[in-house]
């Protein structure tokens, strides 16, 4: 038995919008963490060092996730475009 995957262009466009919203939320979180890191830059002591040692990798992880999601979003945009073109033919 052969099955076909059926997806609507509208579903692809909805996924694009959802990815865009996710990227925006991550960018807001990125900015918030960056602000916190900047705010504790002059703190001294072991607790400050531990907090920085946790926040900096977290911040870098957010940046990495944003880049990966942006790449996926670009791939989805290209795929959606190809599907729109195929639908017109």
60 or 86: which carries more pLDDT confidence? 60
> Of residues 4 and 44, which shows the higher confidence score?
44
Radius of gyration of the chain (CA): 20
pLDDT tens digit sequence for 10-22: 999 999 999 999 9
Could you count the other beta carbons within 10 Å of the beta carbon of residue 70?
14
**Residue position matching structure tokens 């999601």:** 69
- Can you give the residue ranges of every domain in the chain? 15-87
For the whole model, what pTM was predicted?
A: 0.83
Q: What pLDDT shows up at residue 3?
A: 66
| C-beta neighbour count of 2 within 10 angstroms | 3
């Amino acid at each position: 038995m052969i099955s076909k995957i059926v997806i609507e262009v509208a579903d692809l466009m909805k996924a694009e919008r959802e990815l865009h919203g996710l990227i925006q939320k991550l960018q807001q979180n990125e900015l918030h963490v960056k602000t916190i890191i900047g705010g504790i830059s002059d703190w001294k002591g072991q607790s400050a060092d531990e907090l920085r040692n946790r926040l900096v990798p977290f911040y870098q992880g957010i940046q990495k996730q944003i880049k990966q999601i942006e790449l996926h979003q670009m791939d989805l945009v290209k795929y959606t475009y190809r599907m729109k073109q195929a639908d017109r033919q």
